[in-house]
Amino acid sequence: MTTRGSGNLVSVPGSKSIANRALICAALARSESVISNCAPGDDTEAMIDALRILGVGIERNADKVRVSGTLNLEATHELQLNAKLAGTTSRFLTALCSLRAGTTTIDGDATLRMRPMLDLHNALGDLGARVSPVNNDGYLPVRVCRGDQWKAKVAVSATMSSQFTSGLMMIAPRLPSGLEIVLSQEVVSRGYIEMTVGVMRAFGVNTDFSGNQIWVSPGEYQGTNFTVEPDASSASYPLGAVAISGGSVTIEGLSRNSLQGDVEFVDLLARMGCDVSESHEGLKLSRQKERPLRGIEVDMSQISDCVPTLAVVAMFAETPTQISGVGFIRTKESDRIGDLIGELRKLGANISETHDGMVIAPASLHGASLETHHDHRLAMAFALIQREVDGVVINNPEVVSKSWPNYFDTLRSFYKS
């Protein structure tokens, strides 16, 4: 973090969502790729470790990753991969390994074994892959391998997670006829599917997304030099800090033209009373401390990773905030509705649960000891409260290593400047 002019210039890590997509595309490419500003954190490391076990040549030097694109899909030996706590990694690897001739077992830590995978497993089976749960149907661990024949069209539910769809999209160029994906029901986190389209196109494949249908042409990924954008989800925390405590911050290198839907979080803060602008340095948000924060009503189904941040900011607003459209986040790293509400109530927050979100009303806050529930986003959001409320203790704060290992050091420097 550096300081320039009247505000803080904050560098957030590269997007782990973009990085993991780029790593899959690079592994499937026929030539070498260099991925710059590759995200730190446990999720990305789990992906890199797994790709190495699969035989992909990967060299990492700080935030630059060189990928050889040497994945051998004809190998017949059995492999075991550990995605640890990374949902994105586990789902992308499950799809990727369905292309292999040999059987691959994908597993993870105990918390990841509780996260639903059934829609992805069913879709891969419908396509023609062999998918066998080791213990419970629809959960990790799971064994996958290539089947005898691939279909060219599949339907998948998009109400639970966009990661299932993105995993299918990224393997589609290697299928004999490409793939048409029909998304049934409401599409949550649509921006993440659009992100996948953008990354795939950067690696030279042809894909289109319109309405509830996706088309991916057969073809080959091309090795490329790819730069990962700053993580818009991580950016929500310094942005939320300014919304709560006043001042200004510029997120270095982040633009409204981002592939990430979570960049729209700044617009929610603008509705609450903050000022937003963009320059060559990045996106800037500011608020005068004496200017009150207003509550808002918002459907966050497309930027659900920012729900904990907005909920925390909303506690400091003068009028209520209603968050809707996010019932599916109960199956993230934590129950991001129930667990979030339970912890914020320890502080005296006036917060109630709805069927698809929550309502946060003004209340007098006090210190408390908060649990992170193995969820990096809860830990990072809770840290924003400590500036304004004495006696707030965050237990197991190290969970932030999943996406931003030096988060607390960055936040302390930000508040001091």
Q: Does residue 305 carry a catalytic annotation? A: yes
Instruction: Classify residue 281 as exposed, middle or buried by CB count within 10 Å of its CB (0-12, 13-18, 19+).
Output: middle
Distances (CA, A) of 309 to 123, 190, 219, 237, 300: 33, 20, 40, 7, 12
Residue 1: what pLDDT?
40
Q: How many domains does the chain have?
A: 2
- Do 109 and 86 lie in one domain? The reply is yes
Give the pairing type, strands 2-4 and 7-10: antiparallel
Residue 2 reports pLDDT greater than 60: no
Boundary (domain end) residue, out of 185, 208, 227: 227
- Do 166 and 111 lie in one domain? The reply is yes
Structure tokens at 147: 């089947």
In a domain, 333, yes or no: yes
Which residue in the block uniquely carries the two structure tokens 């617009």? 267
Residue 4 reports pLDDT greater than 50: no
pLDDT digits (tens, 9 = 90+) for 120-139: 999 999 999 999 999 999 99
Rg over CA atoms, the chain: 21
Which residue in the block uniquely carries the two structure tokens 């048409």? 180
**Which CATH number goes with the domain that contains 245?**
3.65.10.10
- Do 162 and 241 lie in one domain? The reply is no
Residue 417 reports pLDDT greater than 70: no
In a domain, 10, yes or no: no
Residue 383: what pLDDT?
97
In a domain, 7, yes or no: no
Taking the model in full, what pTM does it have?
0.92
| Confidence band for 286, pLDDT divided at 50, 70 and 90 | very high
User: 42, 43, 305, 375: which one is catalytic?
Assistant: 305
Share of the chain above pLDDT 70, in %: 98
In a domain, 372, yes or no: yes
In a domain, 238, yes or no: yes
In a domain, 104, yes or no: yes
**Mean pLDDT calculated for residue range 170-180:** 97
Residue 360: what pLDDT?
98
**Mean pLDDT calculated for residue range 346-362:** 97
In a domain, 8, yes or no: no
Angle at the Cα of 89 from the Cα atoms of 340 and 65, rounded to 5 degrees: 120
Enclosing H/E stretch for 46: helix 42-53
Other beta carbons within 10 Å of 32: 15
Boundary (domain end) residue, out of 200, 227, 254: 227
Other beta carbons within 10 Å of 148: 6
Residue 7 reports pLDDT greater than 80: no
- Do 92 and 122 lie in one domain? The reply is yes
Residue 5 reports pLDDT greater than 60: no
Boundary (domain end) residue, out of 227, 254, 286: 227
pLDDT digits (tens, 9 = 90+) for 310-330: 999 999 999 999 999 999 999
Which residue in the block uniquely carries the two structure tokens 């494949």? 205
Structure tokens at 32: 């070498």
| Confidence band for 185, pLDDT divided at 50, 70 and 90 | confident
Residue 6 reports pLDDT greater than 80: no
- Do 165 and 30 lie in one domain? The reply is yes
pLDDT digits (tens, 9 = 90+) for 13-62: 999 999 999 999 999 999 999 999 999 989 999 999 999 999 999 999 99
- Do 221 and 297 lie in one domain? The reply is no
Mean pLDDT of the chain: 94
- Do 359 and 239 lie in one domain? The reply is yes
pLDDT digits (tens, 9 = 90+) for 357-397: 999 999 999 999 999 999 999 999 999 999 999 999 999 99
**Mean pLDDT calculated for residue range 287-304:** 94
- Do 211 and 265 lie in one domain? The reply is no
**Domain containing 270: what range?**
232-416
- Candidates 58, 12, 8, 9; CA nearest to 262 is 12
- Candidates 73, 87, 62; CA nearest to 139 is 87
- Do 67 and 202 lie in one domain? The reply is yes
Here the contacts of 267-275 (C-beta below 8 Å, separation 24 or greater) are 268/296, 268/298, 268/306, 268/310, 269/239, 269/240, 269/243, 269/313, 271/296, 271/298, 272/243, 272/296, 272/313, 272/317, 274/242, 274/243
- Do 173 and 251 lie in one domain? The reply is no
- Do 147 and 280 lie in one domain? The reply is no
- Do 47 and 106 lie in one domain? The reply is yes
In this structure, of 71-75, 182-186, 352-356, the range with the lowest mean pLDDT score is 182-186
In a domain, 2, yes or no: no
